[in-house]
Chain A
Amino acid sequence: MAEQTLPDAGAPVAATRGGLRQWIDDRFPFSALWAAHLSEYYAPKNLNFWYYFGSLAIVVLAIQIVSGIFLVMHYKPDAALAFGSVEYIMRDVSWGWLIRYIHSTGASAFFVIIYMHMFRGLLYGSYRKPRELVWIFGCLIFLCLMAEAFFGYLLPWGQMSFWGAQVIVNLFSAIPFIGPDLSLWIRGDYVVSDATLNRFFAFHVIAIPLLLIGLVGAHIIALHQVGSNNPDGIEIKANKDARGNPRDGIPFHPYFTVHDLFGLSAFLTIFSAVLFFAPTFGGYFLEHNNFIPADPLKTPPHIAPVWYFTPFYSMLRATTTTSVHLWMAVLTAAALWGAWSLRRRIERLVVLAVGMAFLLWAMATVDAKFWGVVVMGGAVVSLFFLPWLDHAPVKSMRYRPKWHLSLLILFALDFIVLGYFGISEPSPVGYWISVSCTFIYFGFLWLMPWWTGLGTCKAVPERLVYHPH
């Protein structure tokens, strides 16, 4: 083998040390990774309360994986045994009740944290350039998380598990042409059954967790490439000291590790209070009906998904023939406005007219249930486009007009109201509120190119606003 002398530019000569650390570094870039992601990863100094939820999400993911591994040791993915095996975990397995409650409370905690984390992104414009991919990976994580929760909810094989899965899988049958075959293919049977339970188990314990871990890795790598945003929405990399470190930044380790450790202990206190004193959370984290074994012959009078899906479920329920007509009116108005701005380009105008005519025809003929699925899916998919919908000249709500913040709070309240009516039994009042809230939800997102450009923003300071504590 010819001896090669490669220039070793990265490693300073003085850094050569003996011992285990050096032994590892010769074989695996441990010190380099440690430095790049922790000890020399500079994060903005002024990260506030909202920035706890990122690290908390990772901890909850770890909690779910570890508790999940122990649950799988005792759980039986079999329609005849599943319900009993969960009771076996609750009664006969040592500390089984604790592991099960950790996992069930963890599922709800995960969604609380993710919703807070996403709200933070909206509040400070964390999805804006250059963090578009961080946001998109995040949206993919959210999608995976929803899939993970949906598949996992079938496993206890209670009444709500069964009928919830039945309702959601049946939604796919609303897709024109392929729908009935598609839902049959997903279930593996004509109703939710043992075959469905087995495949949902496979998705829940291996397929989706693998995807989730990969996406979380990509999310963090993308974040560390561009650096964290901050409540001021300023790029700290724009202002560096002589050594090339951001003046407004501080090494993640040890400063943010101790910071997040405090956040974690506060979170664990709340988490444990729920886990030990209200594990069912009044029927919201573990639904009452789910303590009855699944019975394909008895439909519960009121089927509601778990709380974290209810805003989207509410949009689904609000999409009826009447609201499809409203959508047609709204989309026609949008198309007319588009036509006006394209009036000098005849080819594009024709494409728009034909496309719109087809869409209106489809909306008038295809069952409203299908459009409900489109609206529900669209509510999640719309989030992906946020980096390109927001045209505000500054990122953070701190320096945007006050009414921008009011709109964001309205959007958050709108989401909560949708959630409330998704849990409640159907009523005419609830229906109309859900319809209005659905339009507010989509209006907030898709009218962003218009409203985010309005109003005058305040001057963004050169340096971070940081108050020593």
Chain B
Amino acid sequence: MTHPFRWLLRLALALGLSCGAAAAQAASEQASIPLEHVPYRVNDLLALQNGAKLFVNYCLNCHSAKYMRYERLRSIGLTADQVQEYLMFSEPRLGDTMKVAMTPAQAAAWFGASPPDLSVIERALASHRGSGADFLYTYLLSFYRDTTRPNGWNNLVLPGVAMPNPLWPLQGERAAKFAFTNDPASPGLQLKRFVDYEQLTPGSLSPTQYDSQVADLVAYMQWMAEPDQLERKRLGVIVLLFLALFTFITWRLKSDYWKDVT
């Protein structure tokens, strides 16, 4: 005798298989290079301070972070004087936000595109491929020299991006080597696959040091996207502890009221 609900199982199996097929199809459309996992340093004040230094020196010339106040940098362990002396170059007051002098018209003329504001970019770049921090980390590590591009730079994560590598003095210049194979599906087309980098000029940092600097910069951008994130988690622990206790009390209260109900 077959089980009366066997058809339900069959249906569930069929749905599961087709969901799997849909997922496999989506995977083939993904960009070719997987995102690298960035070390988590949002709870590391020294990393955040170093990241802030890199950010104001290398990013803030073209990109703004117009919702981020300089004053907020005090919550990563810097004093007001330190912020004003070492991190503020253009804005007069501590309460100002991180704006940029370049106008959209200049940006269009120089780069062909307006650089996006970076205040919450880490949160915006999250996707099924990985967190926004993973994206930024991989992106910043994937620049290479490309003479076919107007500004001489290209990127593996965002091919054809208008942004040159601002950190090249640290990393040095690299070229990317690609392997070309014929596309079996459509003759005449070639598939381009990244093989390796070739270091053209040495940078001021070793590759390991450079990776770590970029990780600090990304940690800062991750923190800046939600400056209260650590406070949120700290408060969350307290709230959950209280609610666990409160749930226990209300459970006992309920049981006490209901014990005589027959």
List chain A positions with a Cβ less than 8 A from chain B: 45, 84, 87-88, 90-92, 97-98, 101, 250, 254-255, 258-259, 261-262, 264-266, 268-269, 272-273, 275-277, 279-280, 283, 288-289, 291-293, 402-403, 406, 409-410, 413, 417, 420, 424-425, 427, 429-430, 433, 468-469
| Distance between Cα atoms of A279 and B232 in the complex (Å) | 10
Whether the Cβ atoms of A425 and B4 lie closer than 8 Å is no
Whether the Cβ atoms of B250 and A91 lie closer than 8 Å is no
Binding site of B, secondary structure by majority: helix, strand, loop or mixed?
A: helix
| Distance between Cα atoms of A258 and B258 in the complex (Å) | 9
CB-nearest residue of chain B relative to A271? B243
**Can you list 23 A-B pairs, Cβ within 8 angstroms, ordered by A?**
A45-B261, A84-B66, A91-B69, A255-B261, A258-B253, A259-B254, A259-B258, A262-B250, A265-B243, A268-B243, A272-B239, A276-B237, A277-B236, A280-B123, A288-B123, A406-B5, A420-B19, A424-B22, A424-B26, A429-B22, A429-B25, A468-B258, A469-B258
**Assuming A91-B69, A276-B235, what are 20 further A-B pairs, CB within 8 angstroms?**
A84-B66, A91-B227, A97-B228, A101-B232, A258-B254, A259-B258, A261-B254, A266-B247, A272-B240, A273-B240, A275-B236, A289-B124, A291-B120, A291-B121, A291-B124, A402-B4, A410-B8, A410-B11, A424-B22, A425-B26
Whether the Cβ atoms of B68 and A276 lie closer than 8 Å is no
Distance from A255 Cβ to chain B, minimum over Cβ atoms (Å): 6
Whether the Cβ atoms of B240 and A261 lie closer than 8 Å is no
List CB contacts (< 8 Å) of B172-204 with chain A. Answer: none
Q: Which residues of A contact B126 (CB under 8 A)?
A: 280, 283, 288
| Distance between Cα atoms of A289 and B66 in the complex (Å) | 18
List chain B positions with a Cβ less than 8 A from chain A: 4-5, 8, 11-12, 15, 18-19, 21-22, 25-26, 66-69, 72, 116-117, 119-121, 123-127, 132, 225-228, 232-233, 235-237, 239-240, 243-244, 246-247, 250-251, 253-255, 257-259, 261-262
Whether the Cβ atoms of A429 and B15 lie closer than 8 Å is no
> Per a CB cutoff under 8 Å, which of B11, B18, B68 touches A91?
B68
Residues A97 and B255 in contact in the complex (CB < 8 Å), given A269-B244, A269-B247: no
| Distance between Cα atoms of A469 and B252 in the complex (Å) | 12
Residues A417 and B15 in contact in the complex (CB < 8 Å), given A91-B72, A261-B253: yes
Residues A468 and B262 in contact in the complex (CB < 8 Å), given A277-B233, A288-B123: yes
> Per a CB cutoff under 8 Å, which of A97, A250, A468 touches B232?
A97
Residues A262 and B251 in contact in the complex (CB < 8 Å), given A268-B243, A291-B120: yes
Whether the Cβ atoms of B247 and A265 lie closer than 8 Å is yes
Q: Which 7 A-B pairs have the closest CB atoms?
A: A276-B236, A291-B124, A87-B67, A262-B250, A265-B247, A291-B123, A269-B243
Distance from A451 Cβ to chain B, minimum over Cβ atoms (Å): 15
Distance from A413 Cβ to chain B, minimum over Cβ atoms (Å): 8
| Distance between Cα atoms of A269 and B247 in the complex (Å) | 8
